[in-house]
Structure 1
């Protein structure tokens, strides 16, 4: 079951009013690395969600300002689909993480979605978070992100991606 963390550390690099982050990641070590990076930037984290249903429950309740999501969840479903459903009820910056370098090319073509390939160093994730925060500053960028995630969720079936 997903757990919520209530740590909130003030950070000078924070740009968003709602510093709540949803982590959707089924690998515990990677989820912990993401959580540490987010805490260092002043975010309160929710998760990690490991399955589609956990992601939806946490995402709808938490109304995160940023979502960092794996592409393939532990139940075999697509992180694209989970994020697409969450974005129907909230505006959030989105960063996808994946261990599949070929999949990164697919996501890059989809528009304003950020992708981080696993394994990653903290500086790479920090740079992606900074870019996501910048994109969140305009409503147009947020709508473009929602459109890109929706396109990914509906153009890509859940099953073909491997861990």
Structure 2
């Protein structure tokens, strides 16, 4: 693999791994297919030499490998995971891939079409179907951990528009833990840096110690702090500044796919 290709792969690998985990619902399964993608590129670097961008070529290589294996999900190891995969089986094929590529990874419709080898109209249609199917299937209670009032209000409005209830907004680690004890949420939407210099990551760890099954969506201006590959990472990680579509997609999918692994000690 040339230095240029290696640099592109290295730069985008954390995001490929994020996408792979969100897609499969499992850090182990996602990382397995991300590693297989790297092995394929080492064996045949010409796979990156296309008319599309190197990042599109990287994600396309992943899709070829994952799809040819039957588009597997992470093995359900508990009742929650099994129930989530039962929900996933009802989705229209390819919809979730298109939605993740768009709203979480920021690819355009033409790029999604190139990655998935579908036409442009289908790329747009799959995203619309995914949003409708997921938003209509699951609703629940969402706790927001965010110290900036305007952002917190914006998140609350988006969550409520999706049909979910907001249990409350916490500005610090202490408030978050107390709020979770008052009302157990079905999903946590969390910033990393909080008002009193406490950590949203630590707040989530505290809550998950008692409720490990709760899915988490992190929103942060510092994604590299969580995309290290050195420990379990969140499948849904939104980078600030974000757009509403990203929040809607991540919340809907994390709630829908409750087996998504989240950060823990």
Query: Fold-level match, TM-score > 0.5?
Result: yes
Deviation, 1:112, is 4.2
Deviation, 1:115, is 0.6
User: 1:25 touches 1:49 (CA, 8 Å); kept in 2?
Assistant: yes
CA 99–112 in structure 1, closer or farther in 2 if over 3 Å, else same? closer
User: 1:95 touches 1:116 (CA, 8 Å); kept in 2?
Assistant: yes
Match of 1:13 among 131, 135, 151: 135
User: 2:227 touches 2:233 (CA, 8 Å); kept in 1?
Assistant: no
Deviation, 1:150, is 1.4
> Which residue number corresponds to residue 122 of structure 1?
244
CA 45–121 in structure 1, closer or farther in 2 if over 3 Å, else same? same
Match of 1:13, SS? helix
User: 2:141 touches 2:164 (CA, 8 Å); kept in 1?
Assistant: yes
> Which residue number corresponds to residue 181 of structure 2?
60
Match of 1:69, SS? strand
| 1:131 is the counterpart of 2:233 | no
Q: Which 4+ runs in 1 deviate beyond 6 A?
A: none
User: 2:218 touches 2:234 (CA, 8 Å); kept in 1?
Assistant: no
Q: Relative to structure 2, which stretch is displaced further, 109-118 or 72-81?
A: 109-118
Deviation, 1:119, is 1.2
Deviation, 1:14, is 4.5
Work out the number of aligned pairs and report it: 131
What TM-score, normalized to structure 1? 0.71
The structure that is helix-richer by fraction is 2
> Which residue number corresponds to residue 227 of structure 2?
105
Unaligned 5+ runs, structure 1: 1-11, 152-163
Deviation, 1:109, is 6.9
Deviation, 1:61, is 1.4
Deviation, 1:93, is 1.5
Unaligned 5+ runs, structure 2: 1-133
Match of 1:48, SS? strand
User: 1:95 touches 1:129 (CA, 8 Å); kept in 2?
Assistant: yes
In 1: Cα distance, 2:253 partner to 2:182 partner:
25
